[in-house]
Amino acid sequence: MKRESKRTGVFTRRALLIAGGQLGALGFLGAKLYQAQVVEGARYATLAATNRISARLIAPPRGRLLDRFATPVGGNRLNWRALLVAEQTENVGSTLDNLARIVALPDHERARIERDLRRHRRFIPITVREFLSWEDMARIEVNAPDLPGILVDVGTTREYPFGATLAHIVGYVAPPNDADVADDPMMSLPGIRVGRAGVEKFHDVGLRGRAGAVQLEVNAMGRVIRELDRQEGTPGQDITLTIDSGLQSSVLARLGDESASAVVMDCRNGEVLAMATNPSFDPSVFNAGVSQAQWVEWTSNRRAPLINKAVAGLYAPGSTYKMVVAMAALEAKAISPYDRVSCPGFLDYGDRRYHCWSKYGHGSLDLRGGLKNSCDVFFYEVAKRTGIDKIALMANRFGLGVKLDIELPGARAGLVPNRAWRLGQGKAWNIGDTIVHGIGQGFLQLTPLAMATMVARIATGRAVQPHLTRAIGGVLQPGSLATDWPSMNLPEREMHLIRDGMYAVVNEQGGTAPLARLSMPGVTMAGKTGSVQVRNVSREQREHGYKSENLPWEFRPHAMFVAYAPYDNPRYAVSLVVEHGNAGAQAAAPIARDIMMNVLTRDPANRVEPRGMTVADRR
């Protein structure tokens, strides 16, 4: 009995110990459950949802580029593309080899695909080929059993309906690089493009829009199970340009095969109506990727098709600069409108002879006659009396050698030199430099856009600023509404004298540009010719019957012409540069005349709809 009682006591103590341990464990577990479910329940619920739900961005449609009449000049179209999900194939290399037998996969594309595979997890689709044709798509679908992991998807791509006609203005887009992706995660989305040139680059942020989002239910490995919610992105803003695409096409057609650039501006508000550069290029090529052969062809072309010559081409202005020299002289009181200069065909200064374009000379001329005949000797003397610093300051007031706020990356201010600039080069300015700058030669470097701005300011007497953006998101911009640009504060009597000289150039007997005369009843144009030497001509060459037209193309002078019309109510300004065209009066003036007549006929600044097109047509 004693032994039995002792065993029962031991059992009871053990049971109590076990029960106590179990109660303690249950209490600890209960406390932990309370902590997890009550105290930190909200936090764990959030973590659980995050683990179950994956939020991903959706690429927004890129905004459109429109001309002033809402004609699309840069838009989007459907883009069929092949994507690869690496986890769905056992052998990525074999899949890509099979795909390469159906659609071309160049070595550089294979290298890019392998780079993307290393950067992304295996369940994330990566782009293998874009811009698939309908036939390519069909072949991929038929061969789907041999292409595990390959799927066909549809997105959008950039298209440019006017191609090379507007390439230098609209620019182009290209896939984002590593720096772009690091700055904005939206840039890693398939089909996203970044503006690399022209208006596409300048307005890139506004054109991109804002990404949408989709919530996907995923498993623990991150694989998509189903879509839970979708919010479409905000499309990029439409950008309306000041350009008239019909006028642009006609201007480019008139340039023909010439290596040239032309700018047409509205004198009153600074809207650029046409900005043509020839030769040009197809901007859509950059969207798909430029081949090495194409790049070599472009960069080896001596006529430089990739350069927007209107804003980045730099030229000495030649005789088109004489109006600036004249205004500087009048303001400085270096000459009066009635002062006369005798031109025997040359000016001797020191041990150097400076020639006039007419070897027989022009005789005695006043300022109006100097402009009408474009007499070099007259302006040699005027520049010598005025001084380079005063000429440079006047040039700046006319928009030359200063930054113009045009919405194109890469636009250049050019160069209007003065004494300080020359000293900065470690050299002294001399009177011979001033003399040659009197006829727009020397160190001067200006763009066609700057020269068009100069003419618009001469015509109106106001500090007009050129611009290309007419509206953003449908909202008209202040520049296109402005017709009251600040006055240049130059005496109207003197401005009229300059305009009158330009009138005589085109419309009077003996003027240098009779070929620029308009054949429109009651409408006249004022203008100025320019022929710009690109190499020195020695006295010996002149004495032996030198003729620039006999030189190789690249050694001939540039031909220039600037003008505005109508003369009595200025509305349109034109500047034109024909590279190595030889003589402005013969090569540039007739082209500028035809451009101006086309502009006056179309009259884009005073029309709401493009000529011959209705609202229904645009749709």
Specify the range with the lowest mean pLDDT, choosing from 41-45, 77-81, 166-170, 339-343: 41-45
Residues 6+ apart with CB under 8 A from 562: 320, 451, 452, 454, 455, 527, 528, 530, 573, 574, 575, 576, 592
pLDDT at 613: 39
Determine the average pLDDT of the residues in 444-451: 97
CATH numeric code, 56-239: 3.90.1310.10
* Distance of alpha carbon 225 from the chain centroid: 45
Helix (H, G, I), strand (E, B) or coil at 574: strand
Helix (H, G, I), strand (E, B) or coil at 301: coil
What is the Cα–Cα distance from 619 to 387, expressed in whole angstroms? 58
pLDDT at 336: 94
Determine the average pLDDT of the residues in 46-62: 63
Residue 443, phi then psi, degrees to nearest 5: -90, 0
With both helix axes pointing from N to C terminus, report the angle between 589-602 and 245-255 in degrees, rounded to the nearest 10: 160
Detail the DSSP E strand segments found in 465-557.
469-472, 475-476, 526-532
- CATH 3.90.1310.10 domain locations along the chain: 56-239
Detail the DSSP E strand segments found in 88-129.
126-129
What is the Cα–Cα distance from 575 to 310, expressed in whole angstroms? 9
Nearest Cα neighbor of 410 from 211, 199, 95 is 199
Strand partners, 414: none
Matching residue, tokens 């829009």:
209
pLDDT tens for residues 493-522? 999 999 999 999 999 999 999 999 999 999
Determine the average pLDDT of the residues in 145-153: 84
Detail the DSSP E strand segments found in 271-329.
272-278
Nearest Cα neighbor of 410 from 308, 283, 317 is 308
Asked whether the beta carbons of 354 and 380 are under 8 A apart, the reply is: yes
What Rg do the C-alpha atoms of the chain give, in angstroms?
36
Q: Is the pLDDT of residue 225 over 50?
A: yes
What is the Cα–Cα distance from 238 to 64, expressed in whole angstroms? 5
3-class SS letters over 342-358: EECCEEEECCEEEECCC
CATH 3.40.710.10 is right for the domain spanning 245-281+307-606: yes
Rounded to whole angstroms, what are the CA distances from 218 to 135, 146, 153, 211?
35, 27, 21, 21
Nearest Cα neighbor of 281 from 298, 293, 258, 264 is 298
pLDDT tens for residues 261-312? 999 999 999 999 999 999 999 998 887 677 788 888 898 998 899 999 999 9
pLDDT at 37: 67
Q: Is the pLDDT of residue 55 over 70?
A: no
Asked whether the beta carbons of 214 and 56 are under 8 A apart, the reply is: yes
pLDDT at 177: 78
Residue 576, phi then psi, degrees to nearest 5: -145, 135
Specify the range with the lowest mean pLDDT, choosing from 39-43, 123-127, 197-201, 257-261: 39-43
Nearest Cα neighbor of 435 from 473, 500, 384 is 384
Mean residue pLDDT of the chain comes to 86
Which residue did the predictor score with more confidence, 584 or 280? 280
Give me the DSSP letters along 425-450: TT----HHHHHHHTTT-TT-BB-HHH
Determine the average pLDDT of the residues in 216-220: 62
Active site amino acids: 319
Residues 6+ apart with CB under 8 A from 525: 506, 507, 516, 517, 518, 563, 564, 565, 566, 567, 593, 596
What is the Cα–Cα distance from 291 to 276, expressed in whole angstroms? 25
